[in-house]
């Protein structure tokens, strides 16, 4: 989905800039292997999070520039989180999510696009509804379940996330995201399990992920991302 609950996913010290480089490797299903590189810069400010990014895959002959904005608004007992995105090739999209609760929390969201070509590096369905529920021990430790289900072109496609964040020694943080996905891939119903592991240091962070039948295509993807906060 374009931006689900927790769009403003900031570190404890809310740095002004975040620079991320991601390397993507696709393989399997008897298709040629391919690779991709994505560079993303995000700025946090009072007007929200503004980001610009560029993706290129030479084997797939794909290159796309992207940019977007998101922000969290506090409204009484509710947190309202809109987002908008655009990309070269004429793509536009957006999402709106609402969340309530502090220790025990729950939320709903909806995303929509103009269906133009888009390099979906969020990996969840973009034209979809979302629901989540979770528990926070603190601002740095939480456990949540989130479902994202396509409700436009491919209503059979669904992602179910089990997400756990916990503090580590020296102010570090560990995030585990176990993904259960189901849906049609080339007219065949599949069910797969993936996972990502993110480790946040004081200024640097790294993430490794395995995502089967990526974006409901026949191939699997490994992802490695590294970044720095300024």
- Residue 4 pLDDT: 41
Read off the pLDDT band of 6 (50, 70, 90): very low
Mean pLDDT of the chain: 93
Burial pattern 146-169, b for ≥16 Cβ within 10 A else e, equals: bbbbbbeeeeebbbebebebebee
Mean pLDDT value of segment 202-216: 97
Task: Report the run of H or E that residue 153 belongs to, with start and end.
Answer: none
Q: List phi, psi (to 5°) of 14.
A: 45, 65
Residue 96: pLDDT band by 50, 70, 90 thresholds?
A: very high
Q: What percent of the chain has pLDDT over 90?
A: 91
Residue 135 scores a pLDDT above 50: yes
Strand intervals (E) in 139-172: 141-150, 158-167
Q: What pTM, to 2 d.p., does this model score? A: 0.91
**Look-up: residue for tokens 């309530």?**
100
pLDDT over threshold 70, residue 9: no
- The pLDDT value recorded for residue 14 is 58
Work out the pLDDT band at 63, boundaries 50, 70, 90.
Answer: very high
Specify the pLDDT at position 3. 53
Q: Is the pLDDT of residue 10 over 70?
A: no
- pLDDT tens digits along 12-30: 445 599 999 999 999 999 9
The predicted model gives 141-149 an average pLDDT of 98
Closest by CA to 5, choosing from 76, 107, 152, 92, is 107
Q: Which tens digits make up the pLDDT trace of 115-134?
A: 999 999 999 999 999 999 99
The label of the residue with tokens 């289900």 reads 149
Task: Identify the band that residue 5 occupies on the pLDDT scale cut at 50, 70 and 90.
Answer: very low
Structural domains of the chain sorted by starting position, each given as residue range(s) with its CATH number in brackets: 17-229 (2.40.160)
Tell me the average pLDDT across 193-198: 98
38 pLDDT above the threshold of 60: yes
Note whether 129 and 108 are within 8 A (CB).
Answer: yes
């Amino acid at each position: 989905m374009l931006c689900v609950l927790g769009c403003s996913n900031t570190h404890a010290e809310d740095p002004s800039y975040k620079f991320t480089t991601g390397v993507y490797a696709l393989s399997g299903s008897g298709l040629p292997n391919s690779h991709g590189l994505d560079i993303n810069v995000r700025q946090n400010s009072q007007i929200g999070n503004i980001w610009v990014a560029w993706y290129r895959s030479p084997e797939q002959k794909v290159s796309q520039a992207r940019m977007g904005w998101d922000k969290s608004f506090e409204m009484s007992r509710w947190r309202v989180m809109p987002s908008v995105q655009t990309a070269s090739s004429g793509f536009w999209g957006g999402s709106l999510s609402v969340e309530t609760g502090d220790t025990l929390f729950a939320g709903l969201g909806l995303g929509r696009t103009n269906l133009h070509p888009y390099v979906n590096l969020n990996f969840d369905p973009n034209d979809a509804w979302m629901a989540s529920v979770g528990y926070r021990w603190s601002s740095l430790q939480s456990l949540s379940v989130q479902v994202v289900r396509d409700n436009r072109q491919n209503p059979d496609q669904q992602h179910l996330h089990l997400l756990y964040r916990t503090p580590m020694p020296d102010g570090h943080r560990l995030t585990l995201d176990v993904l259960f996905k189901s849906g049609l891939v080339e007219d065949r119903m599949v069910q797969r399990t993936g996972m990502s592991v993110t480790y946040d240091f004081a200024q640097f962070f790294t993430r490794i992920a395995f995502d089967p039948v990526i974006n409901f295509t026949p191939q699997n993807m490994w992802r490695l991302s590294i970044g720095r906060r300024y």
